[in-house]
Amino acid sequence: MQWTVVMHNELIKRLKNRSAVIGIVGLGYVGQPLFLRYSDIGYKTMGFDIDQEKVDELNNGHSRIEHIPNERILGAVQKGFEATTDFSRAKECDALILCVPTPLSKHREPDMSFVISTTDMLKPYVTAGHVVSLESTTYPGTTEELLLPRLEENGLKVGESVYLVYSPEREDPGNPDFQTRTIPKVVGGQTEACKQVGIALYEQAIDQVVPVSSTKAAELTKLLENIHRAVNIGLVNEMKVVADRMGIDIFEVIDAAKTKPFGFTAYYPGPGLGGHCIPIDPFYLTWKAREYGLHTRFIELSGEVNRAMPEYVVSKLMDGLNDNNKSLRGSKVLVLGIAYKKNVDDMRESPSVEIMELIEAKGADVSYSDPHVPEFPKMREHSFNLSSVELTSEKLASFDAVVLATDHDRFDFDAIYEHAKLIIDSRGKYRHGNGKVVKA
């Protein structure tokens, strides 16, 4: 027992004096900002990923993520950061922070394969004195049910010889108002000793650490944050449909309502939900709730509303073309913005892609323009051999309709309005009351 206390205190000391080696597992939208932050404040950092091409790019100072400049990656490399596909080097680290995907299966159930396979690759190299922190969004119980038994397979004891933490990521790509350092960090430990180590791991890098009583509480905190947003977006998307039928501009209504200084938070409708969290996270809880005999009707209903939005946008496109004596079949349609939100290059779960597929399936010729996505990327479930169209006046005029799906600041909305024949606006950028703009 005395040995475990000494080891516990020594790990906390190394974390606090920044002599610990921090390993980030999964070098995407969450992992890259995290290793940059630890590198910036003087920690030795290592990155682990199964993508050799990505690893080579990072070691050469190049990031695939638009809002992370190459100069920042190069700076970390010059300070000693190294990316690798060799998971045996995890034994060189004191802390391992897992930032791997947690998507849904085709049956809308949690796909934990990335978490499981990553943990299985790491566990032979996790030794006494390590701390392992999971940041991937998941259902309550994941850390305890999936990670804990795997870490203890080789004779380690969580809370005594190895420390297990759950601390959900809260990255918001492209948001200029917040960065990794300034976003408060929720930390839950599998035991009290684990929580103390988790606090020491994050308090040097993050301005505010928010401890909670358990890994389950931390896991549910992340789900509540994103379910809150998903449900409110579902509400306002449904209100959009009602307002449209009544001939009312929902964006005008929201702008008026948000002048109330209490009791109202503005959420805005759109073409559907995108990103790696909001479209997915509610279904982690609905799946887990069934284990307890519960049916989360409210959450599932909002999911149904949000998933219906791409089809709603396409129906408004068809209405607009019909008013111009055209059918969707055979028309040329340009989708403006295919990233899931404005001013980023992140395509994960983007509703724009579903809109493109629906348009193509109905026999139209679909193209896209996105200044942040010059080439349509390789995606697991979607495939378009397309490049971004340059928005010249001639090009805009050549399409029968343009669908505004993502309202990037780099779009010239005045020029789009001037030269496009028909605009299907799912983002409320245009308040014009003529036949050229169809609100969607």
Task: Give the residue numbers annotated as catalytic, written as ranges.
Answer: 277
- Mutual orientation of helices 31-40 and 70-78 as an angle, nearest 10°? 50
Q: How far apart are the first and last CA of the chain?
A: 64
| Listed residue (109, 107, 99, 105) closest to 24, CA to CA | 99
Three-class SS of residue 152?
coil
| Listed residue (287, 335, 344) closest to 310, CA to CA | 335
String of DSSP letters for 111-148: --HHHHHHHHHHGGG--TT-EEEE-S---TTHIIIIIH
Strands 209-212 and 332-336: unpaired
| Listed residue (15, 89, 3) closest to 47, CA to CA | 89
| Listed residue (234, 317, 311, 300) closest to 268, CA to CA | 234
29 to 39, 101, 396: CA distances (angstroms):
16, 10, 33
Neighbours of 42 (CB within 10 A): 13
What are the residues whose beta carbons fall under 8 Å from the beta carbon of 132, sequence distance 6 or more? 95, 96, 98, 122, 126, 147, 151, 162, 163, 164, 165
